[in-house]
Amino acid sequence: MMIEGWAVRVQKVEGERRRQELIAGDALDRTLHPRAEGSDLLIPVTGSPPGTERALFEEIQVPPTLPRHEQVGGIAIMQENDVSGAEEILKGRPSTHTVLCSEGAVKGEFRTKSFTTLAGIPTTRTTISEYGHRLIIDLSLAYFSSRLATERQRIHSYIAEGEVICDMFCGVGPFPIALSDRASWILACDKNPAAIHLLRENLLANNTGNVLPMLGDASHLGELFPDTFDRVLMNLPLIAIDFLPIADQITKPGATIHLYALQEQEGEYIDQIRSIILESTITERYLRSYSAGKWHAVYDIKKD
């Protein structure tokens, strides 16, 4: 719908400079879109200062403020059991098919969560897109964090063509699928059968043929698989450090290990890493805040 308002008429080439002047003078009408008219630009303004004219503008639609939630594919996750708020989210986000309430922290052997459906389709399964890849996930069956998408691209940028990689705790496969176009092949291990099932679906969905799914306990990798690797991923933040001797065992000299950890102070695991891998270069990186006084970090460990 078009709305009549006051406008300043300027040539298009002068449009941005004049708009900044109007912003500085607190005279820009931020509720209306500027409109081109031939070689001119009509900029909406508040009031009617000299040199203005009446013009029709398209109103800027301000999206409604929705209750706090995390969006994962077509699922919105709330921390509060707020049914009315869930209905608002469902109406305000057309691509959302389900609103869930998280019933607590990640728990159990397979790092899963429980959820209650507040609105929409009662499901914990959805599909997300991440840097050109399609990932099928089920939030109640296998752990997944979309917050590491940028981290996956960082690791991708480090990989040399033809590397052999092991993901010790692969989940539904976001790291292996993101890295597969540069690696020679990738061993993707997880002890959660549901995660491996979803991984197989995701490999098919992304036409990925150089990832080998393996259902098994990473603590036995040295016994179960005879090969050694150029790079190992250890994204099991609560206890990954316990598996570092295995990662050391299955990596070649000069290999890189990416150890993910939740910590309360900078460098919390450096001494422990050095006691296990005696000759190495360690780079610690902050990823994100996890909770009050605790953050998610990654240690890039380059074996000498």
Residue 133 belongs to some domain of the structure: no
Same domain, 37 and 77: no
Same domain, 180 and 96: no
Rounded CA-CA distance 233/255 in Å is 11
**pLDDT, averaged across the chain:** 94
pLDDT tens digits, 133-153: 999 999 999 999 888 999 999
Residue 139 belongs to some domain of the structure: no
Range 292-295 contact pairs with CB under 8 angstroms and sequence separation of 24 or more: 293/264, 294/262, 294/263, 294/264, 295/262, 295/263
**For position 128, what pLDDT does the model report?**
94
More confident residue, 232 or 62: 232
Same domain, 115 and 188: no
Same domain, 26 and 86: no
The conformational region for residue 39 under phi > 0 = left, psi -120 to 50 = alpha, else beta, is: alpha
The domain spanning residue 193 has which CATH number?
3.40.50.150
Residue 137 belongs to some domain of the structure: no
**For position 104, what pLDDT does the model report?**
79
Domain limit, last residue, from 21, 37, 58: 58
pLDDT tens digits, 218-243: 999 998 887 899 999 999 999 999 99
Residue 27: domain span = 2-58
Same domain, 161 and 249: yes
- The C-alpha R_g of the chain, in whole angstroms, comes to 26
Q: How many domains does the chain have?
A: 3
Same domain, 111 and 165: no
Same domain, 50 and 75: no
Same domain, 35 and 74: no
The domain spanning residue 15 has which CATH number?
3.30.70.2580
Residue 170 neighbours by CB distance under 10 Å: 27
